[in-house]
Structure 1
């Protein structure tokens, strides 16, 4: 019998478990650990609450979770409740699928001012992550600045722009819904160091900006390259740039008709955040793109800002005793292998790139690597105790493990507490989750 521990219950973790099942069938036992009492990681806490169709992929993970040889082990913090070295006593292979839950820091003066948040914090707040549920951002100002030109930046902009009615059917948590719909924000500036041809925004997400009831996207025609240059772009990016061109074309027609202006500010690099205790403005340097890289021109200007959200990337959280690549912000690895018997997958392996679906081939490829290491004898002796050994350790330490069956009780309670039209009202405190599983 093979015993595998997967640390992290998001997409990468469950795709890896699915791959192990397909390869070894009944000859494998898989424990999927998570520090929270609830599964699905990025699906629950990262995907925008108004993108319920994307969250539906969790039904696939549930099929894996409900099989006899896969177990969810929630409410166990690796590195605190139990160490990697201890898990290595019980499992033949350990896979780190912890994602990249920390924000990449905006390294400019003033980044520690009040009302400046990274996207992991801000998204975690409106998605009900227990770590960020008490964030309480001040949304009482008029201008928000969102730094970054990827889909996460678009998520933040869209959430800041919606009316209460537009959140119908979403699972945004009530405390965020109340704060957002009471906000008087009327201007949202999206800052990007480079130009339209270098964005990471996908067509679907850009197109959603045109559907907003009270907000309109705006692009300066002067920021757009000659339309003939779009021909060299890959098809998805070409469609995204076409959206930007449409935003520029309709700007005058809809100016003033909607309460909120969403302004794309290209060739703009933040060099300082200004304010007395809390952010009041962003100092920006105009840039130019040379051989694909943004270079400062020396020209600067200021944008008033009562709220700043940085959407510039994520980093994996280090675990004591596991080699870590500080420059890349992920575990040090060779195609997923960290050390003999210790592996990583998903964002923990490659950094925050790709879509949710990218994690499936990543997980299947990693299981093939583990299988090869088992065949070659790299993983040492077989016959480890697996979950039996861990369960004894957990009992000795009094750990309150949450199983997938417990999660289903938590989920049922969230469904019952939902406001009208919403699929759930998430518990935002671990104590609430633990209480719900015992009901």
Structure 2
């Protein structure tokens, strides 16, 4: 919006912006937080070169967050490992945002079913889709549906108490009991490419190396010549590779000296292996192994491609976890969707061809990065919303009812949303149950039990 447009907006005292965010994970909360921050200050832009202001009634701007589960926080609650509680501290920031007078949380509302995206667009000046990646990619190989084959997403959801995975389930009692009596003695991590392309971090590698009663099994031959190859690599990649080399050599020497020593558990890395088929037991019911193609690399660095050599090998195992990534799903026929990349087509978070519709997080850019990546990405989308308010792309001259309109639609369809204060009752109950068991919390994993707890 130029100076003239801004003056007209200021003089017209246009209705306050009404914005809704779909999804209450990190992407949703960070988007809401950034929008509210700059609407609260009166600034539409965060850069010194953009001194545009909102009208005096900017403090009436409202951001509503919709979530399909009764409980908020997405992957912070359901995706962070129980032994990394420090990562969950961002929940404190999200809670502060949700308690703002200008923010409201509505759980137990499935957008695309209980209310359509078109109905949200009628009720709000801007709609931001931040619903993440709720499905997993598939290997697409024979035998993938055998008993004993699971996605990493299902496994993580199980031990984190994700409602849809609660029948397998900070770690729930039943999953803790199952893992405590686990007979798993050896875990192989197999990847199509080599040591220079691994996706884990040095922190994760250190934690694996230092697992009590567990021995890493790394083949020194896999790292031949890599000392020179990583000399000019970025520092994180260099340090990670050097630690793998050091571990491979040390453990190889230890093995030679203590060949007869009994190690309770082992884990190892198998590079340049591409799964071709999950092999069944004799009765055809369960997994007994995986047939893998050996690969060679074409190219170098992150752009290297794995090409089958023609050689094959079989790896015996009784459990297969496919950890090849999450993927987003289409939410509503009215929303464009790139099925090849499983994202919503967008430009800086603006959904292509649909003014007033935005996206952030994994549904915007794909399931990559950690929470800090999502934070920066969400701030970028929020900035696009703020710029469109400034430029007049979003027509705030027309009053929007926000949840006033959506609430009526939900009531007519028999849907009762869960407020943030009701979530806090569920939270208190989980913390009390955890205290009784000597844990930070014991998650309630059944949505119906959650709703009964708050009188729904």
Instruction: Quote the residue 1:236 is aligned against.
Output: 236
Give the Å deviation of 1:66. Answer: 0.8
**Separation of aligned partners in 2, 1:250 and 1:422:** 37
Instruction: Quote the residue 2:349 is aligned against.
Output: 336
Q: Is 1:301 the equivalent of 2:313? A: yes
Instruction: Quote the residue 2:273 is aligned against.
Output: 268
**Separation of aligned partners in 1, 2:450 and 2:231:** 52
**Separation of aligned partners in 2, 1:242 and 1:407:** 46
Aligned residues of 2:430 and 2:443 also touching (Cα < 8 A): yes
Greater Rg, structure 1 or structure 2?
Answer: 2
| TM-score, length basis structure 1 | 0.89
**Separation of aligned partners in 1, 2:204 and 2:295:** 26
Residues 117-150 of structure 1: per-residue CA shift (max 9 Å, x gap): 11111110111000111137xxxxxxxxxxxxxx
Q: 2:119 aligns with which of 86, 100, 122?
A: 86
Instruction: Quote the residue 2:325 is aligned against.
Output: 313
Residues 404-428 of structure 1: per-residue CA shift (max 9 Å, x gap): 1011110110011116442111011
Give the Å deviation of 1:9. Answer: 0.3
Give the Å deviation of 1:257. Answer: 4.2
**Separation of aligned partners in 1, 2:271 and 2:379:** 39
Residues 337-362 of structure 1: per-residue CA shift (max 9 Å, x gap): 11111110011101111220122222
Residues 66-102 of structure 1: per-residue CA shift (max 9 Å, x gap): 1111111000011111111111110111101111121
Q: 1:326 aligns with which of 306, 322, 339?
A: 339
Cα RMSD after superposing both structures: 1.6
| TM-score, length basis structure 2 | 0.86
**Separation of aligned partners in 2, 1:350 and 1:421:** 40
Instruction: Quote the residue 2:132 is aligned against.
Output: 99
Q: Is 1:77 the equivalent of 2:110? A: yes
Residues 223-267 of structure 1: per-residue CA shift (max 9 Å, x gap): 114112121221111222122113212324266443111011011
Greater displacement, 109-118 / 238-247: 238-247
Query: What secondary structure, in the 3-state scheme, does the structure 1 residue paired with 2:324 have?
Result: coil
Q: How does 1:24-43 map to 2 (within 5 A)?
A: 24-25=39-40, 26-43=59-76
Instruction: Quote the residue 1:199 is aligned against.
Output: 198
- The number of residue pairs the alignment matches comes to 405
Q: How does 1:273-292 map to 2 (within 5 A)?
A: 273-275=278-280, 276-291=284-299, 292=304
Runs of 5+ in structure 1 lacking a partner? 137-170
